[in-house]
Amino acid sequence: MAEFKEVPADAPVAQKVTNWFENRFPTAFAGYRVHMSEYYAPKNFNFWYFFGSLAMLVLVIQIVTGIFLVMHYKPDAALAFASVEYIMRDVPGGWIIRYMHSTGASAFFVVVYLHMWRGMIYGSYRKPRELVWIFGCAIFLTLMAEAFMGYLLPWGQMSYWGAQVIVNLFAAIPFVGPDLALLIRGDYVVSDATLNRFFSFHVIAVPLVLLGLVVAHLFALHDVGSNNPDGVEIKAKKDASGKPLDGIPFHPYYTVHDIMGVSVFLIAFTAIVFFAPEFGGYFLEFNNFIPADPLKTPAHIAPVWYFTPFYSMLRAITSEMMYVLIACVIAGAALGVLKARIGGLFKMAILGGALVVAALMLAIDAKFWGVVVMGGAVIILFFLPWLDYSPVKSIRYRPNWHKYVYGLFIINFLILGYLGVQPPSPIGERVSQVGTLFYFGFFLLMPWWSRLGEFKPVPDRVNFAAH
């Protein structure tokens, strides 16, 4: 048992109360010191570092508003849509809670996408932060599952038919696909059983996983320390007391610093909630204000905007595109054989494997490979720490043309997202196919192109100018 700390008899009441709690709950105060007041973060953070704290804020908004929505929502196919209308029209303050939750879903993906983009341009996935990045990608994947399941709950036309399309994709998996789709739906069509399953996962199971991953992400980050725009390890330079020379305590400096980011975010967030909660049909589709009708299919079914880049990649995989992918597989295997320093037997195995994959790609329906590409577009992010061979972390010290490559990547991603909400067209299909090839080429060719060019010298200490 630890010794109790004593305070002077004339100490302020606040200090006495704090001391009383610290003596009885020292773990909480130790955690506060480790993760806040004595956690040293680089002093050169810029605005890109707002989005981690904003993601935490949106998570809290989603949990709190979700709790109030569950109080009035009915997870029943016959009552779900009416219960949402009841929340909007009859529950005091229900409309703002619902709009905060629906806007929060899109806001979550906005800040998470920007947070991941910051990690990419500053090399925050590089050693020793590989596990931090992996936990972050797992959060992103879990968030997609959470959003997809929540998307069904309003039981509107787009909720129903969007879920029907996405769940049916699993049926394209050879051998186990039909049974897997049946397991997910709980019925032969999207029905009351599906709604109940998705409600249970959306409200209980997936949030628990999400919270666990967020805690793991933060603990892993604070164990190895935060990256910074220069990609310099601040722990390498310490003063006599062991504190990083280029570090400052997270609290109070960055807690106060983040208040500005939170203020700007809340201004934009509340403006959307009060004046444009549907955001032109991107945050809340107009078809979702129509009750689900299994007998009437909407003219154009598309997922919410944050899924559309991956949906574009799914639609890009046609029978014609399969020949291009087969050519890419064979070319990749041939390049690997030429470049790899391995024995002839292993080279033959690589070529043989490529031919087997090519044969499977011809034998199995393109719809299945579309699902593989859509899933692979997310899974490939997990391997980014081992694909980047650049000798420096930050984009600041890479060759200038690297910035154009990253810029093209984000433009390509936005174009894929735009095409995903548009009805299918021959031109859109061709553009999405080129965009899909560029997306995967960016990552798969990274071991080659990330080493090219003239790199700038990285400073010993961070560049920082007080402002």
SS3 category, 456: coil
Q: Helix/strand/coil (H, E, C) string of 190-216?
A: CCHHHHHHHHHHHHHHHHHHHHHHHHH
- pTM: predicted TM-score of the whole model, two decimal places: 0.93
SS3 category, 13: helix
Half-sphere exposure of 431 (CA within 13 A, CB side): 17
Residue ranges and CATH numbers for the domains of the chain are 31-289 (1.20.810.10), 308-449 (1.20.810.10)
Element (H, E) at 106: helix 94-121
- Taking only the tens of pLDDT, the chain with its 467 residues reads 557 788 888 889 888 888 888 888 888 888 888 888 888 899 989 889 999 999 999 999 999 999 999 999 999 999 999 999 999 999 999 999 999 999 999 999 999 999 999 999 999 999 999 999 999 999 999 999 999 999 999 999 999 998 888 888 888 888 888 899 999 998 888 899 999 999 999 999 999 999 999 999 999 999 999 999 998 888 888 888 888 888 889 888 889 989 999 999 999 999 999 999 999 888 998 889 999 998 888 888 888 999 999 999 999 999 889 888 888 888 888 887 777 666 667 778 888 888 888 888 888 888 889 999 999 999 999 999 999 999 999 999 999 999 999 999 999 999 999 999 999 899 999 999 999 999 999 999 999 999 999 999 998 888 776 65
Say what the pLDDT of residue 342 is. Answer: 65
Say what the pLDDT of residue 467 is. Answer: 55
Neighbours of 396 (CB within 10 A): 17
Say what the pLDDT of residue 8 is. Answer: 83
Say what the pLDDT of residue 311 is. Answer: 93
Sign of the four-CA dihedral 451, 454, 460, 465 = negative
pLDDT 10s digits, 350-385: 888 888 888 888 888 888 899 999 999 999 999 999
Say what the pLDDT of residue 397 is. Answer: 94
> What residues form the annotated binding site for heme b?
101, 115, 202, 217
Q: Which two tokens stand for residue 229?
A: 């725009």
Q: Which two tokens stand for residue 253?
A: 């400096």
Q: Are 235 and 160 in contact (CB under 8 A)?
A: no
Q: H helices within 289-399, ranges in order?
A: 308-316, 319-339, 344-363, 366-379, 384-387
> What residues form the annotated binding site for a ubiquinone?
222
Q: In whole angstroms, what is the distance from residue 369 CA to residue 411 CA?
A: 25
Q: Which two tokens stand for residue 111?
A: 């800040």
Q: Are 458 and 232 in contact (CB under 8 A)?
A: yes
Q: Which two tokens stand for residue 142?
A: 């879990």
Q: Are 113 and 49 in contact (CB under 8 A)?
A: no
Backbone angles phi, psi at 148, to 5 degrees: -65, -45
Q: Are 130 and 385 in contact (CB under 8 A)?
A: yes
> What residues form the annotated binding site?
101, 115, 202, 217, 222
Beta bridge partners of 301: none
Burial (CB < 10 A; 0-12, 13-18, 19+), residue 266, is: middle
